[in-house]
Amino acid sequence: MNSKVYELIILGCGPAGITAAIYAARKKMDFIIISKDIGGQTIYSSEVENYTGYQVITGAELVFKFKEHLDMFDVELHMPEEVKKVSKQDDIIKVETDKDIYFSKTLIIATGRIPRSLGVPNEEKFKGRGLTYCATCDAPLFRDKVVAVIGGGNSALDAAIQLTKYAKKIFLIDIASNLKADPVMVKKAFDSGIVDYIKNSKVVEIIGSNFVEGIKILNLENKKETILELQGIFVEIGSFASSQFIDIVEKTKDGEIIVDCANRTSKEGIFAAGDVTNVFAKQIIIACGEGAKAALSAYEYISKKF
C-alpha cells in the first residue's frame, strides 16, 4: 500500500486522461495516472478524419502523438493496472486497483467505454474462434474469408473498411433500417463492391462446432430467419461506460457519470471527463477538451480547498 496522498490521480490514459495529465503537469500538480492501456478506444480507429489539424491520421498515430506530448513531462504512469474500487473518507479519496491502493485529494475519472457484446447464448464459446471485437487486430487473419460485421455506426463501418483489404465478402448486419455511420465511411465501404447490407436484422445464433461456420439472423420486420455461411464475425454494436468500479457518484441509467460544466461529479473532489461521462457526443476532440477542463477544475478545487 502506498500511503502517500497525491494531489491528483487520473484514471485512464485515453484522449481525456492524457490531456488532463498534460494540463496537470503544466500546473505542476503531484499526480499519477493509472490505466490498463494507452489510447483507449482511439487506438483501434483505423482512420480519424475529424481531429482538427489532421486531415487524416490513424488512431494509433494520434495516440502516439498524444503519448509523445505526455512524455515531455515526467509523469508517473501505472500501467497495465486496473481500478477496482473508489471510495472517499473525509477529504481523502481511496483508489483500489488490481495491484495496489492509492490515496489522493482529487480524482479524474477518464476510463472511457467498453465494447458491448452480442448477447447470444454461445458467444463465449466462439470468442477467438471466429468471433472478434477488434477489427484492427484481427482483420488480417480473415484473408479470403466470408465475414459479417454486426452494427451500423461508425465503428462498424470502420471495421468493414479495414476488412475490405482482406475478406472475400462482408455482410453488414444492422438492427436499424438505415446506417447511422458518416456517409463518407459508408461510401468508402460500399465502393469496395464486396459489402452486402442486411438491415432490420439481428444475430440470434452463432453456428459452428469448434469455429464459427455461420450465423442465424432474424429479420425484425418479417420475422424470417436466415442462415449465412461465414467464418468471421466482427462485433461493433456500440459500448457502455466503464464506471462499474465507482458507486459514490451519480450516474445515468446507462452508467454514464453525470458531470456539470466544470466536470464536477456529485462527489466533491471527484471529476470525470470523456466518454465515461454523460457529456453529449463521444468524440476524440471532445474528450480532449473535457480532459483539459477536468484538470483545471481539479487544480482550482485543490487551490481553494487545501
Partner 1 sequence: MGILNTQIKNKLKSVLDNLPNDVILKVFTQEIECPTCRENTSLMQEIAEVSDKIKLEVLNFIINKEEAEKLKIDKIPATAVVGEKDYGIRFYGVPAGYEFNSFISALKLVGTKNSGLKTSTIEQLKGITKLVNIKVFVTLTCPYCPMAVELAHKFAFESDYITSEMINAQEFPHLANKYGVYAVPKVVINEKVSFEGAVPEDIFLTYITEATK
Q: How far is CA 21 from CA 5, 74, 202, 231, 239, in A?
A: 17, 10, 41, 42, 25
39 binds partner 1 (CB under 8 A): yes
Catalytic residue among 100, 134, 196, 260: 134
261 as an active site residue: the answer is no
Footprint of partner 1 on 128-167 (CB under 8 A) = 128-130, 132, 134, 136-143
Catalytic residue among 13, 138, 158, 275: 138
112 binds partner 1 (CB under 8 A): no
Of the candidate residues 44, 190, 271, 299, the single one contacting partner 1 (CB under 8 A)? 44
DSSP per residue, 214-228:
EEEEEETTT--EEEE
Of the candidate residues 5, 25, 37, 116, the single one contacting partner 1 (CB under 8 A)? 37
- Beta strand pairing call for 195-198 and 270-272: unpaired
Nearest to 267 by CA among 123, 87, 130: 87
Classify residue 8 as exposed, middle or buried by CB count within 10 Å of its CB (0-12, 13-18, 19+).
buried
Q: Which is nearer to partner 1, 138 or 256 (CB)?
A: 138
Of the candidate residues 4, 211, 305, 306, the single one contacting partner 1 (CB under 8 A)? 211
Smallest distance from partner 1 to CB 128, Å: 4
138 as an active site residue: the answer is yes
226: CB partners within 8 A, 6+ apart:
201, 216, 217, 219
Q: How far is CA 150 from CA 19, 107, 155, 157, 238, in A?
A: 32, 36, 10, 10, 10
Q: How far is CA 26 from CA 73, 205, 264, in A?
A: 8, 52, 20
Smallest distance from partner 1 to CB 46, Å: 8
* CB 36, CB 11: distance < 8 Å: no
- Beta strand pairing call for 225-229 and 232-235: unpaired
92 binds partner 1 (CB under 8 A): no
Of the candidate residues 28, 84, 127, 187, the single one contacting partner 1 (CB under 8 A)? 127
* CB 285, CB 11: distance < 8 Å: no
Q: Which is nearer to partner 1, 117 or 278 (CB)?
A: 117
Footprint of partner 1 on 256-295 (CB under 8 A) = none
Extract the C-alpha cell encoding 60.
Answer: 494509433
247: CB partners within 8 A, 6+ apart:
none
Of the candidate residues 49, 76, 91, 98, the single one contacting partner 1 (CB under 8 A)? 98
119 binds partner 1 (CB under 8 A): no
288 as an active site residue: the answer is no
Q: Which is nearer to partner 1, 119 or 128 (CB)?
A: 128
60 binds partner 1 (CB under 8 A): yes
Catalytic residue positions? 134, 137-138
**Residues making contact with partner 1 (CB under 8 A):** 37, 39, 43-44, 60, 80, 82, 98, 127-130, 132, 134, 136-143, 210-212, 232
